[in-house]
Amino acid sequence: IPIDGYAGTDRKAKDGGLSLWFTTNFGLGKEGVWQGLAQYSISNEWSPIGCDDATKLVILQDVCDHILINGKTMQELMTTEENPKPEISIGKSGTAVTRVVFGYYGEGLICLRFHMDAGEILSVDDVDTVTIRQGFQWYNKDGNKVGTGTDQDYTMYFDKANDQFVRQLKQTDEGEIDPSSVTMASGPEKTLYFKGDTFNKEGLSFNVTYQDKDASGKNRTGIVSADKVIVGAYDFNGDTAGKVKVAVSVQGYTYELEVDYNPLQIDLEKVSQIEVDGLKSSYVMGTDQVTGLTLKNVPYSDGTSGEVVLTDENINAPIVYEGTCKGLINYLNLEN
């Protein structure tokens, strides 16, 4: 197949365009086959396909047969009382859009792009969903097929809150996103934050269920990685330690996760003043464990100091067979 999964979309209202991005399965350094992708113009002379009008019409009809906008075919979008049976043509207003572009942009990305000029049949602001149907075919500038058709339907919808098009998640009977369609696959690598910190989404990933279904009728599934997640509201400025909720947008669905928060940090420039209470002079391997320690005179970032009773999770001090043992103490931002 000529594509290896849905990569992303973008909406650019200023230039009246909508781009649907896919990744190729040829890999970096092997994308030469895509460099001849066509830019097919319906209403002007900008980089047209280099083939005769009859071939252009066949290509355009094939494209229109495999595209749904707001769940409607091009003919349905063009249907009016004055024109109840519209036909696809290569002339101006021959479809509901003004230009279809098969684009290659390097780095393993190919792009299907629609231009919708103001005042035409359809504006980019009118688009809620776009479906690329199974069997959609890519063509090069000479009007020849590139690869085989797409392996499945890909339905994208406009996530108005984040001004982006994303692949449509499974819907409820009421037409809302089904909350069960998004579950966390892996949490963020950083889970402890201090006053003034910025949330780091690295490590996040989500299992998602799409509205599109396979041949057996099962909803298709996928994984959304951290780079596709949009971080929303959170507050790392409070004066009380505890859990803080962080809102992230996953394909248009708002998912709330919790991280640990503490308004205070250890003043690392004064760490030498800390005293460790509870250490024994010697430990026996296999019998003893370094435990029950208390940190005294702990300097905090607000200028105060205090005492901390460490748990076993704060202490990493294995007992060696013979000799001097070295261990680590972890507490807040302290690792020493």
| Sheet of strand 328-331: strand arrangement | 315-316, 328-331, 334-335
Write the DSSP string, 205-217.
EEEEEEEEE-TTS
**Is residue 27 a contact partner of residue 163, using CB atoms and an 8 Å limit?**
no
Residue 179 has pLDDT above 50, yes or no: yes
Average pLDDT across the chain, whole number: 79
176 — pLDDT class (breaks 50, 70, 90) = very high
Q: Where are the alpha helices (DSSP H) in 14-94?
A: 53-65, 74-78
Q: How far apart, in whole angstroms, are the C-alpha atoms of residue 12 and residue 133?
A: 23
Q: What is the structure's pLDDT at 7? A: 46
Neighbours of 60 (CB within 10 A): 21
Q: What is the structure's pLDDT at 42? A: 43
Task: Give the model confidence (pLDDT) of 117-153 as tens digits.
Answer: 554 567 777 788 888 888 888 777 677 887 778 878 8
Provide φ and ψ at 234, rounded to 5°.
-165, 165
Q: What is the structure's pLDDT at 14? A: 44
CA distances for 335 relative to 42, 141, 242, 328, angstroms? 64, 60, 21, 6
Neighbours of 129 (CB within 10 A): 16
Q: What is the structure's pLDDT at 45? A: 45
Q: What is the structure's pLDDT at 9? A: 52
| Sheet of strand 253-262: strand arrangement | 192-194, 253-262, 242-250, 230-231
Q: What is the structure's pLDDT at 284? A: 83
**Is residue 75 a contact partner of residue 88, using CB atoms and an 8 Å limit?**
yes
Closest CA to 263 of 235, 234, 241, 233: 241
Q: What is the structure's pLDDT at 322? A: 63
Chain CA centroid to CA 319, Å: 45
Residue 3 has pLDDT above 50, yes or no: no
Neighbours of 271 (CB within 10 A): 12
Q: What is the structure's pLDDT at 17? A: 62
3-state SS, residue 48: coil
Go through the chain and tell me how many residues it has: 336
Question: pTM of the full predicted structure?
Answer: 0.69
3-state SS, residue 34: helix
